[in-house]
Structure 1
């Protein structure tokens, strides 16, 4: 079954946008969202393979959006928004983690509405995501990335299969002071590199820099990482993976052991692929040794606060398996 999984990570380049001439005047609606108050909403999600997918509607089209902290912008699927002559072609290509994506377009969105929440004057990339629709067997309208998420504190809860968004001020303080019933038990600082969450940690006591990405179906470790860290990557099989531009590569997949992000934040063995991150590092001007994705969130109920550059953690119930 693993051989049929498609690995996706929409780590787009930081681009200077050229605004389009026309607007999407209709809001994006999340029909399954539960609005708690004017600042906070909960959105149920389903896991499609290892991707976090929410139901949404825009321009009278109903379908799915992937929640992707690794994407800089909102992305619309060109298959369902095909009037590309209304869009402004991008000056530069977007970049996926394994390649660059050319023939992408931009759309200036007048209003993005999440029930009571309304975001105005946002940009969207328009990219052909048909191969992802085919492989995942879902109607994919697009991807919700950093440009939408950054104004909220985001609780990614794999236990309840829901995302909680709560509005924050410029300092990252929640406008709703009573969001979580659960107790926050730990926290971790991160650095925001463009739109990428970067944390420091260790693998087998070797210091590493790791990106956090909700749309990475598997963790990734760079082939060029120190041998001391690679000693605890235990390969199991080879996989053929496909990225956003349909390019296929073959990688080693296995379990990564001895990952720690702090004295109190550590992980059990995580499904990981061994790959080359040089193109991504070049695109972002970063030097990441790996990416933590689904396996990270499956082990840690995680709250992301971009303004404070903090991750917070809530324990799973004791009977969670």
Structure 2
């Protein structure tokens, strides 16, 4: 019997229309730890393969998904019903499987993230109840690029925490005293709208790959060159539900081998699904061969600097016996 999986991946904002505004009180991340004036550390829990942080908004306690593949800060309409008709956003949000309709926006006057204050942020408001039902978890919303871009973002799967450090307009940290660990490597990337795109290789075949922290499985485009596709070893079929609750697709799942991003940055076999990325590529005006998600971060302790368009890597500790 086929198992039903949910994969949250690439919530792509296709419309740039502005909406009327409503004031939303601060969001508080109660478990965050201030490291210094410009840095906070927030623990996350893994729900299946999603990184989830706890927060409180409008006297509601719940969870937010950390999603580098989402352009916006998103609130779950299920828990925030005070969205009036005049706040409806023009156009749709495009998901990897289907358009997301009935999209609204609210203007957030102020977000308090422990010692940080984020002002004049816009939140999209959509129905995320299908994610809640699948994950059996109360989800208040999704934290995406519009929030993360002003920070250097350290996603640490070893300690299950995300560290946010405020940066200036060119991406320099406002404080040098952030990481105890040593940065061992780096990699340049390009931003296609809000998506991190890296050059890489499957065996020796050149590919373009997007990086998305909320992709529960890696994805490889079924239209990829056959020389690269032969290193995808299928194991079984899955049913996936995307960012919209209205459509499901059947895909092949297996392991992707021989992925590397440079001579020194390479990966062991990664759980991957074979799917059609045409919707996403059309939305971005690019041609991605695949998406690296949870499996990427599980193998690499990764720091994202959006303004410098650079990834930095910190080694996992060596196992002790």
- TM category (shorter chain) comes to over 0.9
Which residue is 1:46 aligned to? 45
Which residue is 2:126 aligned to? 127
Assess, with a 3 A threshold, how the Cα gap between structure 1 residues 9 and 2 changes in structure 2: closer, same or farther: farther
Which residue is 1:256 aligned to? 256
Distance 1:194 1:116 in 2: 29
Assess, with a 3 A threshold, how the Cα gap between structure 1 residues 73 and 173 changes in structure 2: closer, same or farther: same
SS, match of residue 224 in structure 1: coil
Cα deviation 1:48-81 (Å, max 9, x = unaligned): 0000000000111000000000000100000000
The Cα of 1:14 is off from its aligned counterpart by 4.1
Matched, 1:279 2:275: no
Which residue is 2:292 aligned to? 292
The Cα of 1:5 is off from its aligned counterpart by 2.7
Map 1:18-57 onto structure 2 (within 5 A). Answer: 18-24=18-24, 26-57=25-56
Which residue is 1:179 aligned to? 178
Instruction: Tell me, yes or no, if the aligned pair for 1:75 and 1:143 is still in contact at 8 Å.
Output: yes
SS, match of residue 229 in structure 1: helix
Distance 1:232 1:2 in 2: 24
Distance 2:150 2:2 in 1: 35
Instruction: Tell me, yes or no, if the aligned pair for 2:34 and 2:115 is still in contact at 8 Å.
Output: yes
Matched, 1:112 2:111: yes
Which residue is 2:313 aligned to? 313
Instruction: Tell me, yes or no, if the aligned pair for 1:22 and 1:86 is still in contact at 8 Å.
Output: no
Q: Note the aligned Cα RMSD (angstroms).
A: 1.5
The Cα of 1:82 is off from its aligned counterpart by 1.1
The Cα of 1:320 is off from its aligned counterpart by 8.1
The Cα of 1:290 is off from its aligned counterpart by 0.4
Which residue is 1:15 aligned to? 15
Distance 1:243 1:161 in 2: 25
Assess, with a 3 A threshold, how the Cα gap between structure 1 residues 2 and 196 changes in structure 2: closer, same or farther: farther
Give aligned pairs, total: 320
Distance 1:262 1:216 in 2: 22
Cα deviation 1:7-34 (Å, max 9, x = unaligned): 111431243132323211x100000000
Distance 1:176 1:299 in 2: 27
SS, match of residue 12 in structure 2: coil
The Cα of 1:3 is off from its aligned counterpart by 2.3
Which residue is 2:146 aligned to? 147
Assess, with a 3 A threshold, how the Cα gap between structure 1 residues 259 and 2 changes in structure 2: closer, same or farther: farther
The Cα of 1:299 is off from its aligned counterpart by 0.2
Distance 1:305 1:71 in 2: 16
Instruction: Tell me, yes or no, if the aligned pair for 2:29 and 2:55 is still in contact at 8 Å.
Output: yes
- Deviating above 3 A after TM superposition, structure 1's stretches of 4 or more consecutive aligned residues are none
Distance 1:215 1:240 in 2: 17
Unaligned runs of 5+ in 1: none
Distance 1:49 1:87 in 2: 37
> Which deviates more from structure 2 when the two are superposed, residues 135-144 or residues 78-87?
78-87
SS, match of residue 123 in structure 1: strand
Assess, with a 3 A threshold, how the Cα gap between structure 1 residues 2 and 37 changes in structure 2: closer, same or farther: farther
Which residue is 1:103 aligned to? 102
Instruction: Tell me, yes or no, if the aligned pair for 1:19 and 1:106 is still in contact at 8 Å.
Output: yes
Distance 1:40 1:3 in 2: 41
SS, match of residue 312 in structure 1: strand
Which residue is 2:160 aligned to? 161
Map 1:219-230 onto structure 2 (within 5 A). Answer: 219-230=218-229
Assess, with a 3 A threshold, how the Cα gap between structure 1 residues 71 and 2 changes in structure 2: closer, same or farther: farther
Matched, 1:202 2:204: no
Distance 1:207 1:99 in 2: 28
Which residue is 1:237 aligned to? 236
